[in-house]
Amino acid sequence: MTTIPEFRQEIRPEWIDYNGHLSEAYYVLVFGFATDALMELAGLDDEYRRGSGCSLYTVEARVRYLREVRQQDSVVVRSRVTEVGSKKLLVSHEMRVADTVVATEDLVALHVDVERNETCPFPDAVRAKLQALLDENSAHGG
């Protein structure tokens, strides 16, 4: 198993809503940045997208908002690959401020041929990288 580096993000003032905390859409934005970092690690980067015409599309996401995030906070997202299929990837993100979990996101993503607008299998090399990122606990039902 390869360790996925934590993704760190400072909270920007324009992301704060009228209640004085991070607006709900920006939690998803930060999780999206963490997904992009995971894609880079797996070889699904810009060069891959331009060369293959394929990308990863999120088709389902479940977000849980557990605690408020304030402007002065710095968040860390820990990501886990929980399942790898021939065309499908399941990822879990956990957002923290210090040692407190403030939000989670579970997402389903599909590998898509952008021009044909249909799913297609991951190339063997990409699938191998994703398999290497597969969380050991998830792989064993834990």
Distances (CA, A) of 91 to 43, 58, 110: 16, 10, 11
Neighbours of 17 (CB within 10 A): 11
Element (H, E) at 48: helix 46-52
pLDDT, tens digit (0-9, with 9 covering 90-100), for 2-61: 789 999 999 999 999 999 999 999 999 999 999 999 999 999 999 999 999 999 999 999
pLDDT at 80 over 70: yes
Q: Domain-by-domain residue ranges, the chain? A: 7-139
CATH architecture of 7-139: Roll (3.10)
Q: What is the DSSP letter of 10?
A: E
Backbone phi and psi for residue 116, each to the nearest 5 degrees, phi listed first: -85, -15
